[in-house]
A and B are shown apart, each in its own frame.
Chain A
């Protein structure tokens, strides 16, 4: 009989700027050899995943990691005690520093994780893109990392408008004038702090790759997508799988050179034969379910590797190009009790 695995997944905010959690949770549920119970780790009682009980079994509210690591650890200990949570897949950038720092302590409590080392995480940071692009044999749009308004103005002058103004963790805005760049800069600093990245705007198609590194220099699989339709926030709504040799090669090179451990997303802009590196995210992307849909179930492969379980699919990297990914909206109606329960007790579910 299969042992049931209780897996915590964050990022269950399936909204217009969706977190990756629901796609990750669905992938785990669809792995036939795994018997999983999904614990949704959320930050707001209105995250839709809390109410999607066909995907998420139990849900708990967590304090923000930025509010203090002690409170966060205590809350995870409580969830572990309550549910027997064996493993956590953090899917949000802001959670990564916590999990990288405390993965040993969590393991001692019986909570497994599979995350990069702090050094790996730093090497792919937005302020190190120049080195990264060189190592991966990709081009980099002209980029400057700034930490003051004077630096920003100089960078915009050097690069020339239009430019992209990007936060250290999240969000990127187009600026067509210096004034606009200053406004975006102030907004990003207030929300995410320093540094801010100013980047030349390059034209081309947005092509991305999702992969999981085994920490030994190889990947457990990788799938590339072309974004065909995006929302105003730049999030993929329709996409198609592709086999882009330069991007897949860059992913393999990243795994070899950085011995990456855990999920990652390579983001590029491709103009003809020129492939520009945009960034590498240290987590699953929100479109992760596409990889599962084409037979490369990366969340399940990662859990098996981390927990030492056999992989029934072998290590096949094969997938077909030309498979369409279509996101859609859906509504559910449920009792107010669930919302009240989340607000008053911070949890929802069947675990006694």
Chain B
């Protein structure tokens, strides 16, 4: 079955007064039907840029240097604004990081949820009912009463649930969740993870979860894409990433997560060094400057993408095609 989303060779620059910043370089990833794909990366990895590109909500100074984004066979990058508007909210939906600013403060939740359905020719009463049903599904108590309340009358956790409700209401083919739990306390995070798991049973689209939280990714995702400084360094099924990571960055990242360290450690592991300056992309492998398994050629030759098993590929000189 063809993937829902396929990003091919995407390269994006941001133009600044001091020169272009090469934020994304030859990014390839795909989201199969009915799967949850996690994009993991730290600051500067480019994961938010990829998502913005898919939604075509990039900043004004972004310039797409190359690549395609195929959504159900259509290239998003060549669509007109009117076509994109048809897609957004209906076929691709997004849940944002900060629940406190995600809804319009001056309209009631009900009004906002009815508004999303503007493309459908249902009666007002039917739209209202659909909204109520959706709020119930995400666990909002007394939805028919609370529909008429305003966003500020809901707590952060509730508002994130509402965001999810709004995103899923039109049954999109793709849901993008950008750091959905980062702004929430850990007990609320657990509830949202549980919610996603429940909703997944009845939702037949695919989900992209963007996060820097390895725990969230491990709990929810089927497949994982690891990004570093604007490149995809490794892609695999979740089990392979967490247990058989092939890229030194992925390995180091996993080692640094204190929740993975069983033995109590006086000194916490880190990855020394800084993310390279993307205005001046170094030659060779992007991770070479911080890699502890570096070979001679890593500083001069950029590694090609190698396939380990079907669905597990890495960009590293240490790994050859199997």
Determine if chain A interacts with chain B: no
Where the two chains meet, the residues of A that have a C-beta atom closer than 8 Å to any C-beta of B are none
